[in-house]
Chains A and B, each alone.
Chain A
Amino acid sequence: QKEVEQNSGPLSVPEGAIASLNCTYSDRGSQSFFWYRQYSGKSPELIMFIYSNGDKEDGRFTAQLNKASQYVSLLIRDSQPSDSATYLCAVNKRRTGGFKTIFGAGTRLFVKA
């Protein structure tokens, strides 16, 4: 089982729709959860983080965390062509002496104009 799993996509949605990106993780002791966006040829940039169960909203983005199900999701409302990118889920996993950040392989999102 991969430590952080994401559907590689591509996920294709029309402009204005809601894009739903999902991620599962294997370590129940994971504490912090992140979504990074990576445009083609660019480096990842953080767009959301969530530490507690429930929803966290920031503009058009909502992160959802369910620790019991070991599931994290990212919703993008009113999707725009500029949202087309690869979205990386990342999890702080326990290690000796602290935590380390483990990434999923990413989901490619394509928003059609």
Chain B
Amino acid sequence: ETGVTQTPRHLVMGMTNKKSLKCEQHLGHNAMYWYKQSAKKPLELMFVYSLEERVENNSVPSRFSPECPNSSHLFLHLHTLQPEDSALYLCASSQVKNRGLTGELFFGEGSRLTVL
């Protein structure tokens, strides 16, 4: 396995379901990210983990719950989602440099989520 891998690639869930998205990076990076991509909107940064510590939480609703057990794995736990949460969820990793510069982002292929 190389790069950043995400599973599942597609997910359909009802508003009462609980599911999780998984991301794994094989690049030796020290930071991992969740982004949300909706049609015709910029990529929205949701969460950042640097050295396994959450350093960014962009006012994301509590129905999204991230987990970073180690520097290579990142999860996004989903529960009681709304139809407007349907989007492409992208995981990325990077090597954070001096002074907190995030460096180049390497993205996974994304998890396409549909909430019915």
Contacts and interface: CB of A to CB of B under 8 A. Distances in A.
Interface of A: 2, 4, 8, 31-32, 34, 36, 42-46, 49, 88, 90, 92, 95, 97-106
Contacts of B109: 42-43
B102 A100 contact: yes
Interface in B27-58: 40-43, 45, 48, 50, 55-56
B45 A105 contact: no
A64 B43 CA distance: 22
Contact of A101 (B40, B99, B102): B102
Nearest to B40: A105
A103 B107 CA distance: 14
Contact residues of A: prevailing secondary structure: strand
Nearest to B88: A43
B102 A92 contact: yes
Given A98-B100, A101-B102, 13 more contacts: A42-B109, A43-B107, A44-B90, A46-B106, A90-B105, A95-B56, A98-B96, A99-B100, A100-B48, A100-B56, A100-B102, A103-B42, A104-B42
A97 B107 CA distance: 23
A43 B90 contact: yes
A49 to B, nearest CB: 6
A47 B84 CA distance: 31
Given A100-B56, A105-B40, A106-B42, A92 B106 contact: no
